[in-house]
Chain A
Amino acid sequence: MSPDNVLYGTPVYRFVYELVGTVLPCWISYVAAGLVIMFILVNAVLMGAAVFVFAERRLIGRFHNRIGPNRWGPFGTFQPFADVLKLIFKEDITPAAADKIVFLAAPIVMLAPAILMLAVVPFAKNTALADLNVGILYILAVTSLSSVAILMAGWSSNNRYAMFGAARGVAVLISYEVPVVLCLLGVVMVAGSMSLADVVEAQAVPFLLVQPLALFVFLAGVSAELNRTPFDVAEAESELVAGYHTEYSGVKFALIQAAEFGGVVTASMVVVTLFLGGWAGPLADYLGWFWFLLKVGAVAFIFIWVRATYPRLRIDQLMAFAWKFLLPLSIINLFATSLEVFFLRDSQGVLATNDLWIMTGINLALGAGCIALFGSMIREKIKPVTWQPAAGTASLTVGEVT
């Protein structure tokens, strides 16, 4: 096989390819190397999901003044495996009126984006499985798959709650896709490349500071796409029982859960790569993976923290938030960034570190101002006009109507 496939630059791939290739025919070594890559990807997502499930359950327990699961393994670390084992041995029910093939395919399609996304994320210097030159575009492309999966799950279950959840989920995913794409354009412009490794290299100043508005929009949009509170309308437990996966049980349910939690982990990784400097840190050449995982943990903690704190928005408020708040913010960010890049870049089109600091100053002020301005405007839009402040606790004459 020709070395022109995108994975050939990956050291792991080349190592296996050449090792197997010394004793076996070329096509077998090609398959073997591909399988190794797949094995790494799938297990990275599943293990990431397992660690995240454990962290989330323990941390939410602490937020609740509870202890959280602590029976299996040291500090309960084996709890996710116990959960998965339980689900595997549970009866796998397919509703009689379900569209069986789509019903079976939906969890698999759901897990795919999380795994595919991980392929382009660099864990440390030269450690991405595939350093695509269109990495960001690729991430946006594969994440849109999840809306198809949600629609498949909801529609094929032949359950009204599931259909409700699927309709909501697709509406949310499509709406939030727009601001997310627009805010990532700002990052691409500053970095001058769509490759994630290049984006990390370009972060002499973390894009957390250079693109604060984009980070804000991206975090909000990603929470919505991952169905995390306050945007979890698609599986709103108190409203729709479980939303699109109401009818799922057994191993299919385990897959959906893995996709959901694995999705959070991969999304955190993307956030870290694009905004927090990826593997950058002291001794990044040797400890890059450590800094990367540390930052991923911090971002994942924020997701957990938000989930434990906030109630859920209503679907129309959620749509208003996307179209009336996040979309203008991302357009403003795009506009400001393109102007800044236009005026600050040198003749080769490269931004110096000093220029990045100037952009930081402008964008931080712009971000704070825009969020305050649009925040007060959206509040007026969402708040119903008929509401008056409540009467006090004053001891009224009994039976009196205020």
Chain B
Amino acid sequence: MPIHTEPMTINVGPQHPSTHGVFRLRVTFDGEEILEVEPVFGYLHRGTEKLAEERTYVQIVTLTDRLDYVSSMINNQGYCLAVEKLLGVEPPLRAKWLRTMVAELQRIASHLMGIGFFLQDLGTLGTPLMYGFRTREKILDLFEMLCGARITLTYMRPGGVFSDTPPDFWPALENFMQELPTEIGEIEQLVMENEIVLVRTKGVSPLSPEMAINCSVSGPVLRASGIAWDWRKMEPYDAYEWVDFDVPVGANGDNYDRFWVRMQEIHQSARIIHQCMEHIEPGPVRLDLPLVFRPEPGAEAYGRVEASKGELAFYMLSDGGVSPYRCKIRSPSLINLTVTEHLLVGWKLADMIVTLGSLDINMGEVDR
């Protein structure tokens, strides 16, 4: 006797343990299999771009913190680069090194969270996540020494950084960099060769290089698909032209490769930080810019950085006033989300959650 079945539509989110914020997916299932996916976002919209039009250039730095709130340093960096281009100024050398160094520290923190939540979505009871948080906590302590804040940092300013490092920062950083390989090694030992992690992630939801390019994906998601595309190499900003590092590239673009690329990038970031610690020299950390300035009317600039989630870019247009006429943010998470339908249809519910985790989105950035 044939059993009558019909597809079932479920709203996954906005209140769901694994939607990484307030993301909603309207999914139609045939049993466990996914037939249709429709991502719905906008639950965290705070009008950052519009708010930026009402603030002075220095005040906007605080808005960028709230974009991808687990990698505020890199957001600051992208915005400051755009404003510096708008003004046609260059920050001092020490500021460049400092920015590079803290951006890489932030990248480690962000990737650790990305990996931790990815493994949480795989069903581990938070053990790798907590391992990651242990290391991230130390990075946040370092940031606290630098600027007094831990999450929303506002450390960078157009024309440099907020202030020079306190004297006890360098020994603390030295200490942290010594502990880092052990702590990362523990996570790798726990999960990289775990049979269940391998069967759950290898070959699941592959993203072809063509599809990745067509969807304009960037960051670890793009590199996992086999394309070496990294703005730190291609258009070096701050001190990246003077440091030596590799770009980890996956081969299959599946969930495991996305996870693997992030894991390797942590090692590369550590390499960059070591070089920054070696090369940094005393000097001024900030240009003597006024607190409120007016760029040329009609001046426009596009500043981009390789953020932890992909290409983060700020397009600034000035009308000669104290605040920008337009501040457009290209957020990597939003654009990486455009591949969700291609990745998810045909896979199972459990894979859907893991794939979303492997994209490592941040809703603060998706709904600017």
Chain B residues whose CB sits within 8 angstroms of the CB of A66 once the complex forms: 130
Q: Which residues of A contact B10 (CB under 8 A)?
A: 160-161, 164
**Residues in B whose Cβ lies below 8 Å from that of A71:** none
A241 to B251, CA, bound (A): 33
Are A237 and B260 closer than 8 Å at their CB atoms?
no
Complex CA gap A236/B124 in Å reads 10
B228 touching A399 by the CB < 8 A rule?
yes
Closest to B201 in A: A311
> What residue of chain A has the Cβ atom nearest to residue B261's Cβ?
A390
Tally of contacts, chain A with chain B, CB under 8 A:
142
- Indicate if A315 sits at the interface (CB-CB under 8 A): yes
Residues of A with C-beta under 8 A to B194: 310-311
Chain B residues with a Cβ closer than 8 Å to the other chain, count: 58
Determine the chain B residues whose CB is within 8 A of the CB of A398 once the complex forms.
228-230, 233-234, 247
Question: Of B32, B122, B126, which one neighbours A64 at CB under 8 angstroms?
Answer: B126
Give the residue of B8, B125, B256 whose beta carbon is less than 8 angstroms from that of A307: B125
Indicate with 1 or 0, residue by residue over B202-238, a CB within 8 angstroms of chain A CB atoms: 1110100100000000000000001111100110000
Query: Chain A interface secondary structure, helix, strand, loop or mixed?
Result: loop
A61-103 toward B: CB 8 Å interface, digit per residue (1/0)?
0011110000000000000000000000000000000000000
A229 near B16: Cβ-Cβ < 8 Å: no
CB distance from B6 to the nearest CB of A (A): 13
Selecting from B47-55, B73-81, B94-102, B344-352, the interface stretch reads: B344-352
Closest Cβ of chain A to B332, distance in Å, is 18
Q: For the complex formed, measure the closest distance between the CB of B185 and the CB atoms of chain A, giving whole angstroms.
A: 15
Q: Of B130, B234, B252, B350, which is in contact with the most chain A CB atoms at under 10 Å from its CB?
A: B350
Binary interface profile of B, 250-269, with partner A (CB < 8 Å = 1, else 0)?
11101011001000100110
In this assembly, does A397 line the interface, its C-beta being within 8 Å of a C-beta of chain B? Answer: yes
Judging by beta carbons under 8 Å apart, are A312 and B17 in contact? no
Closest to A375 in B: B195
A395 touches B246 (CB 8 A): yes
Q: Please name all residues of chain B whose beta carbon is closer than 8 Å to the beta carbon of A399 when the two chains form the complex.
A: 227-229, 234
| Residue A230 CB within 8 A of the other chain | yes
- Is A63 within 8 A of B127, CB to CB? yes
A126 contacts B by Cβ under 8 Å? no
Min CB–CB distance A363 → chain B (angstroms): 24
Classify chain A's interface size.
Answer: 35 or more
Counting chain A CB atoms within 10 Å of each CB, the highest count among B8, B124, B134, B246 belongs to: B124
Q: Which of A19-27, A257-265, A365-373, A381-389 contacts B (4 or more CB under 8 A)?
A: A381-389
Minimum C-beta distance from A52 to chain B (A): 15
Query: In the docked arrangement, what's the CA distance between A388 and B249, Å?
Result: 13
Cβ of B263 to closest chain A Cβ, rounded Å: 10
Name A397's closest neighbour in chain B (CB-CB).
B228
The answer to whether B200 and A313 have CB atoms under 8 Å apart is yes
Once bound together, how far apart are the Cα atoms of A224 and B130, in whole Å?
A: 25
In the bound assembly, the distance between CA atoms of A396 and B268 in angstroms comes to 14
Q: How far, in whole Å, are A399 and B235 apart by their CA atoms in the complex?
A: 12
Over the window 160-198 of chain A, the binary record of Cβ atoms lying under 8 Å from chain B Cβ atoms (1 yes, 0 no) is 110010000000000000000000000000000000000
Contact of B32 with A315 in the complex, beta carbons under 8 Å: yes
CA distance A312 to B199 in the complex (A): 10
Is A238 an interface residue, CB under 8 A from the partner?
A: yes
Q: B127's contact among A309, A315, A384, A390, by CB below 8 Å, is which? A: A309
Contact B251–A384 (Cβ < 8 Å): no
**New A-B contacts (19) at CB < 8 Å, excluding given A236-B123, A312-B200, A383-B202:** A160-B8, A238-B122, A241-B16, A309-B124, A309-B127, A310-B196, A311-B200, A313-B200, A314-B348, A314-B350, A379-B199, A389-B251, A390-B260, A391-B250, A393-B249, A396-B249, A399-B227, A399-B228, A400-B227
The 8 closest A-B pairs by CB, nearest first: A312-B123, A384-B203, A64-B130, A311-B122, A387-B203, A396-B228, A238-B18, A395-B246
